[in-house]
Structure 1
């Protein structure tokens, strides 16, 4: 049987670790060739690329700082050129920083918007002329677009709410071409940025119905579904995957 993403080409931003690495691996398992962007560690990016190649897929690591929109757009073009097209764009790169309003400056606002919002806009804008009809655009957002469980999360929540709003608008823009645009909104997931045994783990676990953190694989599995052929009638959606965090 053919794999669901056989013959497809994907770009995952921020794909060298955590959720992004898990997504890159899962898309390759489902048959896609995968490019990833990364900002720092060549070794980490090559490790992900090697895992993709071990599955018999093409892999392309691209060093690109998501705070630089020109670098983001160049990465989209490079991925489409070297993989022979672009069918799936996963905007995963992002930052998570906390601070109450009295401790924040305009530079904090700018940095959050640059990476979590402007980079997504830049990638999608560039992809608009490259992505195949019936392609998939998926952004990894956060349930914090809709809920604020702790003080100090205003800027992060704002950035994720902005991505949610852009997703709805883009679903209309891309709809005539059959390209779906969705945002996946994780709750507490065990990553370097928010470890399951970290400072906030106790209260976060208590707020979930399942009483635990999710794993990067959970996000990767959902992303693969939304990227696949069975999700062709889902667009403009904000899909929570949070263990019951917002019940």
Structure 2
């Protein structure tokens, strides 16, 4: 056996809106996009021959598919791309995190074991910090000190980061794993673009890989990485200071074709491989005009030229090659000892590629990753819909649990039985928050320090206007939803080590009639949480007020359809939230700096997260 550097995990993500050629053609016909000459294509010999042989595509669809090589592309917004649509759309961070999550799961490597995080992006969601650091924050805890670095490079960004990763391995003998992500929202460059070519080609996606150095049974892994720059392309492809695309298609085609050819030839020279030895060439998915011409010059047969990404997903910039490798991996096409050559070219004249011989790996039994093993959490309202999901999620991550429930002992015992499979300690506490004695009871049961406290217990009260609610009902809601929970948090203050989460509600922001008792008590809890957070921060405890949109179970069952629609419209929530997904984000909030899918703000030392709106 020998050591090699190889891809141990792959992950991909793309925009959720599939854009067909017919959709683009429709907007050409109405004048949104210009410069396509349908008559020229219609009168061409190729199109006439195509129609004569039974083809039925329109001139545009024929040109986009058969000549350019694109059938579908995915954007984060519906077509056509307009600037306003990006305000609430997925961004490069969302796509990058999603692809990295898949890659880590695919590799079965604990994120805490990643030695270096690298990212490439030319369309970042924010200017700083670099997107690599922000993506890392979604997977590792506050104590993690592994470096993270971002490169502002588009088409060749992944290839440059691959070389940086190899250099890191060479300079750090102890390093075992490097995470690399490339993520782009290319469609955002098209909001003022009238030429049809980039609308046909550009797409939104991310691809991530986990690079591992370990012993292999055979295969070299990554054997050589090449990066160069063609200075003659510096002015012919890019985006200006306003984010608008500029491109000279003819010059780009000529130079890019030459650069791909030169890259492949140099890689074959360095590795001593012959074209006959190659199992697949994976070029940057730029389109047939470049890829097919380069393949023709290099004598690459069609069955060894990988273009599935181009046809099915579009030009993904620097994500194209890792996205293609991920698809090949998922389809069982990366077989041991297969030889792969890649070639990329793009903005600023950057070009390069790498060679990869798929290694044969030792068969190791996957180990379960338990990021919260040895931790302990107190959950109130544990038998409720959200509380039970939080409990399951924590237990799955290895966390010991102290579960408070109100009165349903049978339900509590059932929950405890369900959690037994996770091999964690589970303690049940029956305590009713309608009574002040519940505070002392819970405090006395919590004899050891706890890492986390999640307050998920609440009552909705009558769904009436304030003028229709009795003082007794208002006092009861305050006692259960505000006074007693906050008193409990203060009493447990010296036993809490890491994080406190108070579950808030969409009702605080959503303007709909009724539920005044619930809204009033939650707003009091919110205000008091600010003071608690200032106190807790002195001890290093994070305090989060977690406001949730309308869930698919719980309070929503008490609202009529009119109230549901009014509430969701007032906050811009499009659909009911899946309770299990929200529970997962709440649990991640306990130990990770960032969580995707929530809006994050601060009120003094209090972290406020809004989920679903």
Aligning the two structures, in what range does the TM-score lie when normalised by the shorter sequence? 0.7 to 0.9
The alignment's C-alpha RMSD in Å is 2.3
Aligned-partner Cα distance in 2 for 1:37–1:121: 15
Tell me the SS of whatever aligns to 1:177: coil
Q: 2:187: which partner in 1?
A: none
Superposed displacement of residue 142, structure 1: 0.8
Which residue, out of 450, 468, 492, partners 1:127? 492
Alpha-carbon shift at residue 70 of structure 1 (Å): 2.0
1:104 to 469, 478, 482: 469
- What does residue range 129-148 of structure 1 map to in structure 2 within 5 Å? 129-132=494-497, 135-145=498-508, 147-148=509-510
Out of 429, 443, 463, the position equivalent to 1:62 is 429
The alpha-carbon distance between structure 1 residues 86 and 127, as it changes in their structure 2 partners (threshold 3 A), is same
Find out whether 1:9 has 2:376 as its counterpart.
yes
Query: What is the deviation of 1:228?
Result: 1.0
Give the structure 1 partner of residue 577 of structure 2. Answer: 214
Q: When the two structures are superposed, what TM-score results if normalisation uses the length of structure 2?
A: 0.36
Question: Aligned runs of 1:44-193 on 2, under 5 Å?
Answer: 44-78=411-445, 80-81=446-447, 84-97=448-461, 98-132=463-497, 135-145=498-508, 147-193=509-555
After the TM superposition, which residues 38-49 of structure 1 pair with which residues of structure 2 at under 5 Å, given as runs? 38-49=405-416
> Do the aligned residues in 2 keep the contact of 1:4 with 1:229 (CA within 8 Å)?
no
Deviation at residue 204 of structure 1 after TM alignment:
4.3
Which residue of structure 1 aligns with residue 611 of structure 2? 241
Q: Contact conserved, 1:189 with 1:195, CA < 8 A, in 2?
A: no
Corresponding residue for residue 88 of structure 2: none
Which structure features the higher share of strand residues? Answer: 2
Shift of 1:210: 5.2
- 1:202 is displaced (CA, Å) by 4.3
State the distance in 2 between where 1:165 and 1:196 align: 26
Taking structure 1 as the reference length, what is the TM-score of the superposition? 0.86
Shift of 1:209: 4.1
Give SS of 1:87's match: strand
Q: CA deviation at 1:164?
A: 1.4
Structure 1 residue 87: Cα displacement: 1.1
Distance in 1 between residues matched to 2:560 and 2:465, nearest whole Å? 20
Greater radius of gyration (CA): 2
Q: Count residues with an aligned counterpart.
A: 236
Unaligned runs of 5+ in 2: 1-109, 111-368, 595-601
Which of 551, 556, 561 is equivalent to 1:194?
A: 556
Any gaps of 5 or more consecutive residues in structure 1? none
For 1:87 and 1:192, locate their aligned partners in 2 and report how far apart those are by CA, in whole Å.
27
Residues 65 and 72 of structure 1 are in contact (CA less than 8 Å); yes or no, is this contact kept in structure 2?
no
How far apart are residue 3 of structure 1 and its match? 2.2
The alpha-carbon distance between structure 1 residues 230 and 52, as it changes in their structure 2 partners (threshold 3 A), is farther
Cα offset, 1:156, TM superposition: 1.8
Assess, with a 3 A threshold, how the Cα gap between structure 1 residues 95 and 196 changes in structure 2: closer, same or farther. closer
Greater relative contact order structure (CA < 8 Å, 6+ sep):
1
